[in-house]
Amino acid sequence: MTRVLVLHSVGLLRSALMALLKAEESFDVFASGWCTARRQAECLRPDVCVVDLDCPGAATLLEREQDEPGAEARTRLVVLATAGRPGALRKAFEARALGYVDKDGSPRRLVRAIRQAAEGERFVDESLAFCFLEASRVPLTAREMSVLARAAEGESIAEIARGLHLSNGTVRNYMASATRKVGARNRIDAIRISQRAGWV
Amino acid sequence: MTRVLVLHSVGLLRSALMALLKAEESFDVFASGWCTARRQAECLRPDVCVVDLDCPGAATLLEREQDEPGAEARTRLVVLATAGRPGALRKAFEARALGYVDKDGSPRRLVRAIRQAAEGERFVDESLAFCFLEASRVPLTAREMSVLARAAEGESIAEIARGLHLSNGTVRNYMASATRKVGARNRIDAIRISQRAGWV
């Protein structure tokens, strides 16, 4: 039996994904939201953990995973990804996820990805291949990303400057370079483009 | 048998919701994305249609539904809603949806909502009650909403003015009043707050 833990922030979709995977007789399926994710993982010791990259908590979980030592003991990650969000895909790659399943694909692909990940093998949906190429080239620097992320939360230039210990002029420069680099028309456009791509 | 059509933009989640509902023996379940939604509804003649309000295409579908005449012949709508998005809830209400299910609730609630809607009865999850209260008071005028929606897509003041046949000054005024009304600190914050609430 393969022990599978499904992590999703939305209760109903979590139950639905569970129902989908329970149809596989060789899977023992559990589900959890983000708050209890760590405790559940420790307690259940799943073979494979399925994470939806579009959930608000996914980025934090993947960052934590990235810092975990010991490649052997860790749970194998299978991520559900949306094509066109290279930033999210990159975060999953950096957290050493094994399976990459296109959310717009067939459920059979997810089942196959879980089986392969349980064996320690990689699985990548071909529809995500182009997105990986885009993910390999990060368009923004870490500073530009954090300036954009704060602006997206409604912070003013002065607030961002205080928060990051920079001058207002430097923040404005980061904003301008980020806007130029993602091919945006203005700041709001830069935030929109970067959020859709999953960089911010 | 109750014929249920699940509408969702994400293939895998569509299949997962289908798997969840198929466990009910009295349901005959089908699923579709947005492109084929109308054709599927005409061809399958479902008793109940389940729509996730957080899908990008949901608003357009609900608007179209609103204009349909004949309350008798129409498919009964059950919507999956996220608490804290009164704007989305209001659009569902205006499209005369019968069932309102909290996406963070138990799958049993969804099953009950579908059963009640099939009988022509209303179903509202109590966790959405406060959200209904908020939805009863639209904070923005139609003009303010369309200005914000265009700004959110990255249009400049001049572009919005041209698109809506207004002067630049009038667009700036709408922006300022919208920002004040939603309690935002600046334009980006106003867009963020309005999008999260589902008004834009």
Q: Is B19 within 8 Å of A16 (Cβ atoms)?
A: yes
ipTM: 0.83
CB proximity list for A143: less than 8 A, separation 6 or greater: A164, A174
Asked if residue A31 has pLDDT above 90, the reply is yes
Shortest alpha-carbon distance between residue A70 and chain B (Å): 32
- Best of A15, A112, A195 to disrupt the B interface (most B CBs within 10 Å) is A15
Structure token digits, residue B27: 């349901």
Q: What are the tens digits of pLDDT across the range B169-192?
A: 999 999 999 999 999 999 999 999
- What is the per-residue pLDDT for B145? 95
Inter-chain residue contact A154 with B103, CB threshold 8 Å: no
| A152 contacts in chain B (CB < 8 Å) | 188, 192
Exposure pattern of B25-44 as b/e (b: 16+ CB <10 Å)? eebbbbbbbbeebeebbeeb
User: Does an H or E element contain B61, and which?
Assistant: helix B58-67
- Band of residue B134 on the pLDDT scale cut at 50, 70, 90: confident
Phi and psi angles of residue B176, each rounded to the nearest 5 degrees, phi first: -65, -40
Q: Is A107 on the interface with B (CB under 8 A)?
A: yes
Chain B: give the shortest CA distance to residue A56, in Å. Answer: 13
- Looking at residue B63, its pLDDT comes to 84
Among B9, B22, B110, B188, which would you mutate to test the A interface (most chain A Cβ atoms within 10 Å of its Cβ)? B188
pLDDT band for position B20 (cuts 50, 70, 90): very high
**Whether the Cβ atoms of residue B132 and residue B124 lie closer than 8 Å to each other:** yes
- Domains for chain A: give ranges and CATH numbers: 2-135 (3.40.50.2300), 142-197 (1.10.10.10)
A-facing residues of B in 78-97 (CB < 8 A) are: 80, 82
Predicted confidence (pLDDT) per residue in A79-132, tens digit: 999 998 999 999 999 999 999 999 999 999 999 999 999 999 999 999 998 888
Q: Determine whether the interchain pair A15/B107 forms a contact, defined as Cβ–Cβ distance below 8 Å.
A: yes
Per DSSP, what are the bridge partners of residue A6? A31, A50
Q: How many CB atoms lie within 10 A of CB B45?
A: 11
Partners of residue B188 in chain A, C-beta under 8 Å: 151-152, 154, 187-188, 191
